[in-house]
Amino acid sequence: MQTRQLGKTGPVVSALGLGAMGMSGMYGPSDRAESLATIDAALEAGITLIDTGDFYGMGHNEMLIGEALKGSKRDQAVISVKFGAQRDPGAGWIGFDGRPAAVKTALAYTLQRLGVDHIDIYRPARLDPNVPIEDTVGAIADMVQAGYVRHIGLSEMGVETIRKAHAVHPIVDLQIEYALITRGVEDKILPVLRELGIGMTAYGVLSRGLISGHWDKDQGKAAGDFRSHSPRFQGDNVDKNLTLVEALRKIAQEKGVSVAQIAIAWVAAQGDDIVPLVGARTRARLAESLGALDVVLSAGDLAAIEHAVPKDAAAGTRYAEAQMAHLDSEH
């Protein structure tokens, strides 16, 4: 397994990480046994970075990962956890809580659900507009001192927030959406990460399946599936976006690889300080994603991909308007 270091001060992890969100209902029903088998297969393949959030299935995802990592397998994994997103019993999103007391309480629950004595990377899922980021990061820093957290990360934060957080305690990585059709991070955020020596864990590298090469318009309609209300999957937008996928498919076929593999490889090729997270829910999709690590993209390949899927070519925003408003990275 190839490896990459998360920032100047972070851990060395596998060059591909496993994002476990989809195993807890965010994209419709999932199969528990297959989820556990997929996590096991990821570890077997040398994937070390496993990413979750305490609000994925409201604890379900953490308990699932805890079951998968029982015993000596815990030592094989670098566990990354997002916290702070608030949801109601109907799974509605109702805000974010970055208060110091809430940070420590959330961590206590997470440790219990995962069945571990520390979290490798702990990060606020979003910026709480009512709490200075210095206070939130300061509370995590207290937990680093106490031994409950090894490293601090951020998620979907903008340049000013990143600088403020990093001044309180070294930040090892920013988790943010980055894909062929989601490239806003390149303008201001990525240069600042590189200036400060902060890595990036890129989620949504297949744009929630849209550019996986497997997507069709009859999918994503199950209750609770994020894509049922995502702008990029609606109306004319999805037709325009699938046209981009077909252009990408031609390049993939010429190289003898899948659309998903070339899309993942493109993200990985943007710098060795970037670790793509793949949201594989089955062993078959995991195996396909792992194949991306063997895809070498030449300068000519990268130019062809850029021509097929130009920056800002996607139709629709990456979240619905209400959720976009919560993204400090977009401000």
- Could you tell me which residues come within 8 angstroms of residue 110 by beta carbon, excluding any fewer than 6 positions away? 54, 62, 81, 83, 119
- Rounded Cα distance between 230 and 54, Å, is 22
Which token pair is 135?
A: 């206070």
Q: Where are the alpha helices (DSSP H) in 94-234?
A: 100-114, 133-145, 159-168, 189-196
Q: Which of 56, 122, 148, 178 is catalytic?
A: 56
Which token pair is 29?
A: 């029903």
Q: What angle do CA 162, 331, 197 make, to 5 degrees?
A: 25
Whether 319 is catalytic: no
Of 297, 248, 310, residue with least CA distance to 271: 297
- Could you tell me which residues come within 8 angstroms of residue 319 by beta carbon, excluding any fewer than 6 positions away? 230, 231, 327
Residue type, position 210, single letter:
L
Q: What angle do CA 260, 310, 244 make, to 5 degrees?
A: 50
CB contact at 8 A, 156 and 175: yes
Q: How do the residues of the chain divide into helix, strand and coil, expressed in percent and rounded to 5? A: 45, 20, 35
- Could you tell me which residues come within 8 angstroms of residue 23 by beta carbon, excluding any fewer than 6 positions away? 30, 35, 38, 56, 61, 64, 281
- Could you tell me which residues come within 8 angstroms of residue 49 by beta carbon, excluding any fewer than 6 positions away? 13, 14, 16, 17, 18, 77, 78, 80, 201, 275, 277
Active site residues: 56
